[in-house]
Structure formats: C-alpha cells, structure tokens
Structure 1
C-alpha cells in the first residue's frame, strides 16, 4: 500500500509540474527582417505578401518561430509533433495594414488569440494559396467578409478542415 501511495503522490507532483503556467510577461512582437525565415518553408518572410505569424515558445523570449501564412501557424498549434509550450502568438492585423502587397512594412502585430479571422475568401497569401486574414477589430473583419465573401471566426473557432485543406 505504501508503494502505491508513493507512486500516486509522484504522479500527482509530475502532473502539476507539466501544467505550470508561464507567468513571465510575454515578449514583444519582433519586426520582420532579412533573418526572419518561415518555419515550414524556410523562405525569407519579407519576400512574401499576406499576413504573417510569430510564435514565442516558453523559455525562448528572443527567438520567435516564424510563419509565412496564418494557416501554417494554426497547423503548428494543432500538429501533435510540434512543441506545445507556447507563450504567445502574434499575427498581422490586416485592419492596420496600408499596403496589402507589403503588409510586413507596417508591423501591425496583435495577439492571435484575440484576433478575428476571415476565412473562405479568394485572398491568396504568401505561399500562393488561400489564407486566413486576421483583424483586431471584429467590425473590420465582418465588413471585409461582407464585401469580399467569406466568414469570420475567432481563434478557438478556426475549423481544422480549413487549416488542413
């Protein structure tokens, strides 16, 4: 019985360690430079149009994981083989971008979990495929969807079938 209680106590302690929240303030988003390379495509982000994303992992506040498209960022968060110790995710706020052919120049970053995404549009993103368009303002997202087609979803509502199609 003592062995069972010891094992149970150890399991509870280990489980508690695995769920520890990162209480450090999130790092600020970084500007895209010539050294910003997409995680999956290994291409320089400044060479692509469309919204981008950057993920900061726990314990790595100076080195974001870069994404050439919003769909790639969502894929990273869903794929079981990718790290899950995510501190914060930033995406381009397309509502603040003045030149959609060069959205990187504005560096209008927002918290991805607070953004509204327009999906199922004809917008072709940085990798030559349809991509989601993030907006900080829900009204701007709804207006874009009404004018250009598509629908608005939150971070938690993003359909997996959209991400992986």
Structure 2
C-alpha cells in the first residue's frame, strides 16, 4: 500500500469496516478484460482469516469465470464523504475500504450452501435464524472466496 499512514492492521477495526459494508464487488478475469460484479455477501472469520460467501444463478458469465479461473479479487467500501475546498487540489473524499483476493470454491452440498446462505442473510439482515427450503438450495448457486490477500485502508 502506497500510503502506509492510511493502512489499517487492527483486526477489530478491519472487522468493523467489513461488517459496515453492504456490497462487495467481485473482480474476475475474462481473458485480457476485467469483469466486476457487485454482490451481497456474508462472512466468516477463522483465525484472523476471512471467508466471504456469495450467491447467484447457477449459470452465466460470473459462474463461467469462477469455474474457469477459481480465483477472484474483491473490494468493499463504506463511509463515503466529500470534503470540498475552494482549491481543487484540496478537495478530497473520506472512505473506508477493504480489498484482497483469493481462491473461490463453488459449494455443492446442501449443508455447505445452507451455511453460506445463512452467513449472507445474517450479514444483510442481522438475523441468524432462517428456514431455507430444499428448492431454494437446489436453485441457488453459493460460492465462497477464501481471502488469502486482504488490505484495509481508511482516508479520514
């Protein structure tokens, strides 16, 4: 990270920033072009490492790229605020963001899918108890990104 003075390394602060985000942008490689898609997400933290859960249709460009490459980058941000100055070079914005990447696993079993969907629902709604029927599990693709790389930045 170029601006070390803006880097966040405190695990408690990183988790607070992640949980305050409501969208995660997944970046996938499509040949020589990038493909970025905004997604709802859920998370799980184990031993200071994050796993992010996503869901979507079973077919389409996103799933084709995930199956082809098995890896994705991600970015999430929150706390946007413009700081306007009379001088253009002093106008800036405040934000908090988390970025990284890692391998992506397509979840296959009903148990894995249910756990992923419950993580997403818990993050999005704050509620942990949900009844997820077999038809929903069958028709929905759930996948997990295990963040091998993760950086956090705050521009106060």
TM-score by length of 2: 0.31
Bigger relative CO (Cα 8 Å, ≥ 6 apart): 2
Larger strand percent: 2
TM-score by length of 1: 0.30
Which is higher, the Rg of structure 1 or of structure 2? 1
